[in-house]
């Protein structure tokens, strides 16, 4: 085993843009709660072109990396192996450096989604709807592959996006039907609605929330609540937030990078809530 240059360990989140990331807040809160006083977690503005050089220059004190857009696919050729979960959606959001110098790519977004839903009592659904068709939507499909026994309807804006979602469904063995975004109000009647679209996109749907909504998983967390989530809560529906997802996927990252389990979920959630309130 090669000796480490120092007993201190480092980790960081990479992406572009990155200034908004809550990952440093969550990971540092975990280190504090776990008593890992010699661990540090930073953030670096890194694009796809700069990523290979950045990774090659990392020393033996590095334990892991969190990756956000646009790096989740760009990193794949730079790791030694990737988990089945990451391979299922061609997306790596976590790289763990082993003591023998190997780089292991993983995806904690998918199990993070499942864990966030489970925390709100959602273990299994017989159907679901997805709003949007971007990278987060494919992760949502992968999560639904674990908990949904029936059809998933994806509401999208173009036939190209519709074709992509159907292809992801075939790859993930999920029964996917696509529908036009103009009919997205119908999605709100599903037992589980996962909104994966950018801020403001679902605002116009807020007035269509049914009288007895089921569960909404809105992956946004800033600003929060979205108009759709606020209306959903007002009508008594269950709401899972983007912060829930962020915390649960970060919990898994901390456990993989530090080897300590369980990670301090509540301490991390509190730190995230405090940071968002300060914004």
Q: What is the dihedral of CA 44, 4, 9, 36, to 10 degrees?
A: 180
Pairing of strands 152-156, 128-131: parallel
Question: Kindly report the CA angle at 249 between 54 and 203, in degrees rounded to 5?
Answer: 105
DSSP 99-149: TTS-EEEE--HHHHHHHHHHHTT-S-BS-EEEE--SHHHHHHHHHHHHHB-
Q: Which two tokens stand for residue 228?
A: 């759709």
Phi, psi of 203 (to 5 degrees): -55, -40
SS3 label, residue 39: strand
User: Is residue 63 within 8 Å of 96, Cβ to Cβ?
Assistant: yes
Q: Which residues contact 252 (CB under 8 A, 6 or more apart)?
A: 94, 108, 111, 112, 115, 263
**Phi-psi domain of 15 (left: phi exceeds 0; alpha: psi -120 through 50; beta: other):** left
Q: Which residues are catalytic?
A: 72
User: Is residue 129 within 8 Å of 148, Cβ to Cβ?
Assistant: no
How many Cα neighbours within 13 Å face the side chain of 61? 11
């Amino acid at each position: 085993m090669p000796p480490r240059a120092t007993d201190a360990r480092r980790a960081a989140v990479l992406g572009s843009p990155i200034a908004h990331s809550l990952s440093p807040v969550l990971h540092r809160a975990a280190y504090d709660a776990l008593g890992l006083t010699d661990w540090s977690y930073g953030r670096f503005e890194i694009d796809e072109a700069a990523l290979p050089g950045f990774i090659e220059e990392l020393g033996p004190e590095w334990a892991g990396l969190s990756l956000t857009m646009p790096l989740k696919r760009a990193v794949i050729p730079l790791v030694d192996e990737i988990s089945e979960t990451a391979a299922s959606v061609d997306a790596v959001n976590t790289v763990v450096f082993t003591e023998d110098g190997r780089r292991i790519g993983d995806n904690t977004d998918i199990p993070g989604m499942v864990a966030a839903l489970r925390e709100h009592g959602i273990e299994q659904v017989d159907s679901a709807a997805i709003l949007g068709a971007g990278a987060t939507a494919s992760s949502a499909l992968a999560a639904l592959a674990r908990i949904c026994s029936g059809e998933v309807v994806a509401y999208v804006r173009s036939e190209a996006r519709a074709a992509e979602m159907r292809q992801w469904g075939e790859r993930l063995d999920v029964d996917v039907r696509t529908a036009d975004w103009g009919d997205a109000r119908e999605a709100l009647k599903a037992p589980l609605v996962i909104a994966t679209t950018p801020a403001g996109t679902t605002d116009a749907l807020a007035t269509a929330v049914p009288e007895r909504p089921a569960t909404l998983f809105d992956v946004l967390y800033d600003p929060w609540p979205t108009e759709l989530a606020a209306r959903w809560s007002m009508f008594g529906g269950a709401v899972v937030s983007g912060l829930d997802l962020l915390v649960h996927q970060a919990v898994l990252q901390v456990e993989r990078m530090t080897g300590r389990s369980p990670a301090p979920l509540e301490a991390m959630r509190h730190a995230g809530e405090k940071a968002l309130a300060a914004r």
